[in-house]
Amino acid sequence: MKRSMKLRTKILLLFSLFALLILGLLWIFQVALFGQLFEGVRVMEGRAVIRRIEAALESQGTEALSESIQDAAFEKAACVSVYEIVNTVATRVADIHANENCRIHDIANMSELLHRLYIAAESDGGIAVERVAVSSFGSPPTDNRPSDTAFCARLLSLENGKDYLILANVEVYPSVATVAALREQLIWISAVIAVIAVAMAFLISGSLARPIAKLNQGAAQLAKGNYGADFSAPGYRETEELGNTLTLAAEELSRTEALRRELIANVSHDLRTPLTMIGGYAEIMRDIPGEVTAENLQIIVNETHRLSSLVNDLLDVSRLLSGTEVMQPTRFDLGTLAGEAGAHFRDLLSKNGYTIHVDAPEGVWVRGDRKRLQQVLYNLIGNAVNYTGEDKQVSIRLTAGDGIARFSVTDTGAGIPAEDLPKIWERYYKVDKVHKRAAVGTGLGLSIVKSVLDAHNAKFGVSSDLGEGSCFWFELPLA
Ligand code: ADP
């Protein structure tokens, strides 16, 4: 079988992948896209400078323009020239040199560039931006002088009828020092992210794996039969819930195990009694002359019958509880069946002082497995007889109405505590473990009743008052 990856390894892998993704994005932005981002920002700054110059021009004209726009230019490291245009001739009226790699001030073919920008701005709402390769200026790029530069231009017509062209030149490349600093920073950030990712992966996987490993240990203990295994796994709601569920399962298993042992003890006792009788009587007849009497033989026959009916009951129990038994429904009179069952118990028990009241009119037809429902009646009546009070009264009642047949059997016994009511239908469950053993006495009677009635989709239940007695009932549709 292919073994799955360990939780720790998987989380480590996922975190590494996540860290790699973040680092990849960082490198893409810093290395591949940084130039474009930087250029965009620089062009925006150049245009911001132009807007301030524009405002100065509008408010004060060219008078002392250079002084009033100096701050703006130096702040953004932009070289600025302002030209007045008269009859397509441009005359420089203000000038600031604030970009150390400036091109405005050493450009050979300035008039040609000016002309291009003028035309572009004129056709594009007064604004033009042009990125120019430095090599086109005649001086080749060096390490310290980047290869491209950008010009922002603004064509402006003032109310006094004068036309101006404002030109700002900004560097679109970060300086070599800036780039180096960023690289260095990026390497450090990458290292820190990698370390943090690995540390986080170890921490998280550790804290996740710990409760799971603990639950696993507990489950292994449980598998070995240690029902008291510790399933506390604090830290996460899911693991806590799983722990609680496993604790419940362990309790359930230990209870079933205890009940199973009890059942085996009961059954072996029930089997041994007739066997001892048979063995004893057979030996007497063999060893003592004249003991081979019809009475002694009858005892052996009776005990053999008891044995075989006990074995049959046990077989029934196992078949019904394993769910392999298929119901064989027929239409029959539940009234007759209840009357017969009542008569059977009355015949058996009246000499012991029991009073069995039967109120079961004939002609209550239902559909179901007659043999299994008879077993249900016998189990319910048998329980009522076994658990009824000192007055030894048991009432059997059958009613029919609204398309429903309702059978109930009431005793006057001690009743069943409310907290035990839901459990009595479970296998092997006994409220009072030291109570005199029931006819079957295995704690299986009611679970057989439940299996049979469930198979008939019948409603059933019990109402019980402590000290007053209990009433077991079930309902079947009339047929
Ligand atoms: P048992 O063989 O022990 O009677 P059952 O499955 O028939 O097993 O019943 C389960 C338990 O339910 C009994 O041990 C008893 O504690 C309780 N019980 C069943 N019927 C009655 C009743 N009529 N009155 C009081 N307790 C009852």
* One-letter-per-residue 3-state SS of 161-175: CCEEEEEEEEECCCC
User: What integer pLDDT is reported at residue 86 of this predicted model?
Assistant: 87
| Any atom of ligand 1 within 6 Å of the Cβ of 243 | no
pLDDT of residue 258: 82
Nearest CA owner, ligand 1 atom 23: 384
Phi and psi at residue 441, in whole multiples of 5°? 70, 15
What's the confidence (pLDDT) of residue 109?
A: 67
Cα–ligand 1 centroid distance for 430 (angstroms): 6
384 lines ligand 1 (CB under 6 A): yes
Stated pTM of the model: 0.50
Residues facing residue 357 across a β-bridge: 395
Token code pair at residue 271: 């089997």
| Per-residue pLDDT, 173 | 75
Pocket residue to mutate for ligand 1, from 387, 421, 465, most atoms within 8 A of Cβ? 387
CATH 3.40.462 fits 33-174, yes or no: no
* 465 in contact with ligand 1, CB cutoff 6 A: no
| Closest C-alpha residue for ligand 1 atom 24 | 387
- For 109, list phi and psi in degrees, rounded to 5: -105, 55
203, two tokens: 């921490």
Cα(383) to ligand 1 centroid in Å equals 6
Question: Mean pLDDT for each consecutive 10-residue tract of the chain (479 residues)?
Answer: 77 87 86 81 88 86 79 86 85 82 68 82 79 57 59 85 86 78 87 89 87 91 90 89 93 84 79 89 93 92 85 78 81 96 90 93 95 92 92 96 96 92 81 51 78 93 94 96
List C-alpha distances in Å: 406 to 360, 413, 425: 10, 22, 19
Looking at residue 439, what is its pLDDT? Answer: 40
138/170 Cα distance (integer angstroms) = 19
CB 405 within 8 A of CB 331: no
12 Cβ neighbours under 8 A, 6+ residues apart: 198, 201, 202, 205
Q: Does 430 contact ligand 1 (Cβ within 6 A)?
A: yes
Q: Ligand 1 pocket: which of 317, 412, 446, 451 to mutate (most atoms <8 Å of CB)?
A: 446
Assigned token pair, 311: 């074995």
Spatial CA neighbour of 92 closest among 101, 79, 74, 102: 79
CA gap 66, 48 in Å, rounded:
16
**Could you tell me which residues are beta bridge partners of residue 94?**
82
Q: Can you read off the two tokens belonging to residue 140?
A: 């080749």
Annotated domain spans of the chain: 7-31+179-218, 33-174, 225-324, 326-477
Look at the alpha carbons of 63, 68, 74, 76 in this order and tell me if their dihedral is positive or negative.
negative
The beta-strand segments (E) located in 148-305 are 148-157, 163-171
Q: Pick from 194, 177, 199: which is nearest to 24 by CA?
A: 194
Give the closest residue (by CA) to ligand 1 atom 14: 430
Ligand 1 centroid to Cα of residue 472, in Å, is 11
Q: Using DSSP bridges, classify how beta strands 469-477 and 404-411 pair: parallel, antiparallel or unpaired.
A: antiparallel
**Is the C-beta atom of 425 inside 6 A of ligand 1?**
no
Give 359 Cα–ligand 1 centroid separation in angstroms.
23
Residue 294 sits at φ, ψ, to 5 deg, of -60, -35
pLDDT at 140: 47
| Alpha carbon distance 377, 384 (integer Å) | 11
- What is the 424 CA–ligand 1 centroid distance (Å)? 7
pLDDT at 9: 84
The answer, yes or no, to whether any atom of ligand 1 lies below 6 A from the CB of 432, is yes
Q: Is the CB of 332 under 6 A from ligand 1?
A: no
Amino acid 142 reads T
Protein residue closest via CA to atom 26 of ligand 1: 416
441 lines ligand 1 (CB under 6 A): yes
Residue 172 CB-density burial (10 A; 0-12 exposed, 13-18 middle, 19+ buried): buried
pLDDT for 391: 93
Which strand (E) or helix (H) includes residue 465? Answer: strand 459-465
Cβ-contact 23, 29 below 8 angstroms: no
User: For position 149, what pLDDT does the model report?
Assistant: 79
Strands (E) in 27-108, as ranges, are 79-86, 89-96
Domain 326-477: give its CATH superfamily: Histidine kinase-like ATPase, C-terminal domain (3.30.565.10)
Name residues whose C-beta falls within 8 Å of residue 457's C-beta, 6 or more positions apart in sequence: none
The whole-number pLDDT of residue 141 equals: 47
The CA radius of gyration of the chain, in Å to the nearest whole number, is: 50
Q: Are 148 and 42 in contact (CB under 8 A)?
A: no
What tokens does 209 get?
């794996």
CATH topology of domain 225-324: Helix Hairpins (1.10.287)
Secondary structure (DSSP) of 106-151: G-SSHHHHHHHHHHHHHHTTTEEEEEEEGGGGTSPP-SSS-SEEEE
Please report where in the chains the tokens 């409220």 appear, as a residue.
Answer: 431
